[in-house]
Amino acid sequence: MPAPHEMTAVELRDELAAGRLGAEEVTTHYLQRIEELNPALGAFLTPTPELAVAEARAADARRARGEKLGMLHGMPLAHKDLTDVAGVRTTMGSAALKPWTADTDGPLPAVLRRAGAISLGKTQVPEFGLSSYSENLVGPPARNPRDLRLSPGGSSGGSAAAVAAGLIPFAPGTDGGGSVRIPAAATGLVGLKPNRGRVPSGSAQQDLGQFVVAGPLARTAADAGLLLDAMVAGPNHRATSAPPSTDGFLAAAQRAEGTFRIGVSTLSPFESRLEIRLDPEALQALDAGSAALTAAGHDLVDTDLRYDERYPDAFEAVWTAFLATAVLEPGAESELTGIAASKRQRALGRSAADLVTAIDILRTFETDTIRQFGAYDMILTPSLGMTPRPIGWYTDGGGEEDYVRQCLYSPFTSMVNVCGLPAISVPVYNTEAGLPMGIQLIGRPGAEADLLAVAAQLGY
């Protein structure tokens, strides 16, 4: 039998479900890998070995008593340090806040715990989840397993690094502007951003712009489907939701059925403010993905899309609005990272009317963009505009330059959050330096199953 970290998550789930592997055995295996590999990788900010082993023993005891087991019985994972896990400190990646230890799980960890998953700790994030890299003033930066000099992206960068390095089989992430898809692309994973309202505990109906959703990071489409099936099983207290899947997302990935009309685009809504120049490797990945999709029977066609030129300013205003209401103790602002400090000052200077105007622009953008996308079953873009960036690349030019560099690095992701659509990043190309590059597929409303099926057709 292969080692647990050599199995897919679906294979590991099957071994645990059949009792051929025990939860404590699997948990101990991954904890040993974290102990050995994490010091160089920085993926985990707070490993929790004692809590994890106790949970694993309790899972084995439930099996011994013949109790009904959850769909993720004994499966290790980890949570971003932006969410509360009972008994574990939360930092939000910020030195400007005092860490706290929650008495109860946040909504998403609670759903996954009920499914039988075992948390091995908290993973590294940028401050407040604000950035497309995972560096902060709280702990060492998360590093890319493909090249430790490079970033794994963000804000789910620590989680992506952990999955890519085999420290956990898969991980839940959150995505408010690309924070699942960006690190997936940078580390060679499948990263799925679900439709707004799909995951009850991460539905994009809490934040001002309705951007942030929870979604899976995994090595295969089937693994992502398995985790998504568990994520959507939580209680739903929202009036608006994506329609339920008919027979599950894992099943859709395993069937890998369907051929689709796919519109190809390299247009970014940031082009009205920035000169978007795609690295040759990004275009090579797009070509490789296009060839693979065509070989799989899909109809790829050129697009003639148009985006509202007001998008960049409106997105920035709404994306950073929460910084104006962040409660900091006197003097704590000096402990903010450069981008958080800069964006907080800009957010504090905006009026309510400014925010209302920005939200109106984005809602119009959503309507117009979905209408244009409706001529196709899916839209294909590069996942990223550049190859994975070096540690420190974003932060060496100040807060405003930091944000510009993020937009240049990931010019195609945030618009999907604004529109509430599902999208997936799939690795399709390796550069001469051995770095992964991916494509992004944007689906119709509620079409996560189709996206997973296509990713599986491409061999993931």
| Strand-strand pairing, 213-218 and 190-193 | antiparallel
**Residues in Cβ contact with 379 at an 8 Å cutoff, skipping those fewer than 6 apart:** 262, 263, 264, 265, 303, 373, 441, 442
Which has the closest alpha carbon to 221: 446, 432, 428, 5? 428
| Strand-strand pairing, 213-218 and 171-175 | antiparallel
Identify residue 52 by its one-letter amino acid code.
Answer: A
Structure tokens at 260: 């689709």
Please tell me which residue in 151, 159, 179, 268 is annotated as part of the active site: 179
- Say if residues 366 and 419 touch (Cβ distance below 8 Å): yes
How wide is the angle at C-alpha 282 spanned by C-alphas 276 and 288, nearest 5°? 140
- Say if residues 146 and 435 touch (Cβ distance below 8 Å): yes
Identify residue 33 by its one-letter amino acid code.
Answer: R
80 counts as catalytic: yes
With H, G, I as helix, E, B as strand and everything else as coil, classify residue 118.
strand
How wide is the angle at C-alpha 215 spanned by C-alphas 90 and 344, nearest 5°? 50
How far is it, in rounded angstroms, from Cα 317 to Cα 252?
A: 38
Residues in the chain: 460
8-state DSSP, 252 = H
Burial class, 393, CB count within 10 angstroms (exposed 0-12 / middle 13-18 / buried 19+): middle
Please tell me which residue in 94, 134, 151, 155 is annotated as part of the active site: 155
Which has the closest alpha carbon to 34: 71, 4, 73? 4
- Residue showing tokens 């690795």: 427
- Say if residues 448 and 438 touch (Cβ distance below 8 Å): no
Structure tokens at 406: 């993020």
How far is it, in rounded angstroms, from Cα 363 to Cα 352?
A: 17
Across 289-342, where does the E strand assignment appear? Answer: 299-302
The sign one gets for the Cα dihedral 297, 302, 307, 309 is positive
155 counts as catalytic: yes
Structure tokens at 321: 């609005």
What number of other Cβ atoms are within 10 A of residue 118's Cβ? Answer: 28
Residue 192 CA: distances (Å) to CA of 73, 370, 381, 453? 22, 19, 15, 12
Instruction: Report, as residue numbers or ranges, the catalytic residues.
Output: 80, 155, 179
